[in-house]
Amino acid sequence: MGCESLKLERLKLGLGERSYSIWIGGGILSDLSQALEEVKFPRKVAVVANPRVQALYGGALADALCACDREYHYITIADGEHYKNWSTLQTIYDALIALDFDRHCGLIALGGGVTGDISGFAAATFLRGIPYIQVPTTLLAQVDSSVGGKTAINHPRGKNLIGAFYQPRHVHIDVHTLQSLDAREFAAGMAEVIKYGVIRDRSFFDWLHNHRKDLRKRKDQALVEAVKRACQIKANIVEIDEKESALRAILNFGHTFGHAVESLSEYRVYRHGEAVAIGMVVAARISCQLGLCSADDIDTIRDLLRAFDLPVDPPDYPLDAWLDAMKHDKKVQRGVLRLVLNKGVGDCLVREIADPAPLFADALKELKPSR
C-alpha cells in the first residue's frame, strides 16, 4: 500500500445552480478548508460520523475546519447498515436542535455510505433543507453514494425506501482514507466501480482488469484513476437525469436483486457491495436468457468480481422470498418489475419484466453453487 504524491483532480457535476465540484486526491483532507471557502459554506458546522471514522479522521477534519475559522460540533452515530433508520435520524435532529442550528448552518458527512445517506437526508429535511458536504471515507461511498444527491434511510421492508434527492455543495474524496478499510469493505467498493464498466464503458472495465493487482495493493495512482473515472461516469449520467426519471436508473444494475439479498439477510450478513456483486451476476444471467449477452460475458463479469474476492453466488432463499423482496424495489412501476440488464459488457438497458418468476427461477438454478 503506497501513499504517493498526487495532483488534485477536480470534476464538476453540472446541475445549473445546484452544480458542485468533486475533488479527488491523496492526502487532501487539509484542502477541505479551501473548498469550504470556495462554496461559501456556513460558519457553524455539524460533522456526522461513527466512532471509528471520527477517531481516524476527526482530528484532521477539525484542523481543516479551524484553518477556515468554522465553529464545529461532532454528532456521533452508530456504525452499520441496520442503523440507517428513523432512530438514528432522530438522533441527528435532536443534536441539531440542541445546538440551536438554523438554516444558516451546515452538515458535513464524514464516513461511508450509511453516514452519507442519513446525513444527506437529515440535511434535506431539517428546517426544510440546510447545506451539506460529503467527505466519503470508503470506496463505495466515494464512487457511489456521495455523488448524485440520493439521500435516504432504510425501512424493514426495503432499502432506501424513505429519502429525497438533495445535492451536496461539494464532495471531497481523499483516497488515503481507503488504506484504513478492511479487505471486505474495500472489495465491496470495487463492486460498484466494476458496475460502471459493465453498464457504460468497456474500456474502463478492461482497465480495471489490467490494473487489478495495483488496485488490490491500493496503490494511490490506481485508486485516484479508478475513483475519477467512476465519478465521471456517474456525473455524466446524473447531469442528464438528476431524479431518475429515465437514464439514471441504469446505475442500479445489480441492485434490484442485491437489495433483496440485503433485506432478506436483515442487512447483517452482506456488505452492500457484496450484495450488488451477487445481483450483477444474477442480472447478467437473466440478460443471457433474454439474448442480451453471452455466457462468456457472464464469465468475464464474474471473473473480475472474483478477482477482488467478491461473492458471486446467491444465498439459498426460496424463490417466493426473492420475488416478494423485489416487489418493493424503487424501479417497480404499476406493479411491474423493471430490471437493468447488461448488453454484453459496456452497455445496458432497462426492461420491464411482466413475469419475473420463471426468469429468476432459471437464473438461480443455473447459478446455484455446486455442493
Q: Which residues are part of the catalytic machinery?
A: 128, 150, 192, 234, 244, 248, 252, 255, 259, 272
| 220 labeled part of a ligand binding site | no
| 83 labeled part of a ligand binding site | yes
| 81 labeled part of a ligand binding site | yes
Q: Look up cell 463505495; give the residue.
A: 140
Q: Look up cell 464538476; give the residue.
A: 12
Bridge partners, 13 (sequence order): 20
Residue among 4, 100, 115 at smallest CA distance from 51: 115
Rounded Cα–Cα distance for residues 272 and 147 (Å): 16
| 115 labeled part of a ligand binding site | yes
Rounded Cα–Cα distance for residues 27 and 38 (Å): 19
| 113 labeled part of a ligand binding site | yes
| 272 labeled part of a ligand binding site | yes
336's grid cell = 411491474
| 328 labeled part of a ligand binding site | no
For residues 192 and 230, is the Cβ–Cβ distance under 8 A?
yes
| 243 labeled part of a ligand binding site | no
Q: How many CA atoms lie within 13 A of 86 on its CB side?
A: 4
**Coil, strand or helix: which one is 234?**
helix
| 211 labeled part of a ligand binding site | no
Backbone torsions φ then ψ of 118, nearest 5 degrees: -75, -35
| 365 labeled part of a ligand binding site | no
Residue among 111, 106, 112, 164 at smallest CA distance from 132: 106
For residues 97 and 140, is the Cβ–Cβ distance under 8 A?
no
| 182 labeled part of a ligand binding site | no
| 262 labeled part of a ligand binding site | no
Distances (CA, A) of 335 to 67, 261, 349: 53, 20, 19
| 112 labeled part of a ligand binding site | no
**Parallel, antiparallel, or unpaired: how do β-strands 150-155 and 9-13 relate?**
unpaired
Bridge partners, 350 (sequence order): 340
- The amino acid present at 254, given as its one-letter code, is G
Quick one: CA torsion of 126, 162, 188, 199, rounded to 10 degrees?
-110
Please report the sign of the dihedral spanned by the C-alpha atoms of residue 52, residue 54, residue 55, residue 60. Answer: positive
Rounded Cα–Cα distance for residues 257 and 280 (Å): 8
| 238 labeled part of a ligand binding site | no
Going by the annotation, the residues of the binding site are 79-84, 113-117, 137-138, 150, 159, 192, 255, 272
**Binding site for Zn(2+), residues?**
192, 255, 272
Binding-site annotation: residue ranges for NAD(+)? 79-84, 113-117, 137-138, 150, 159
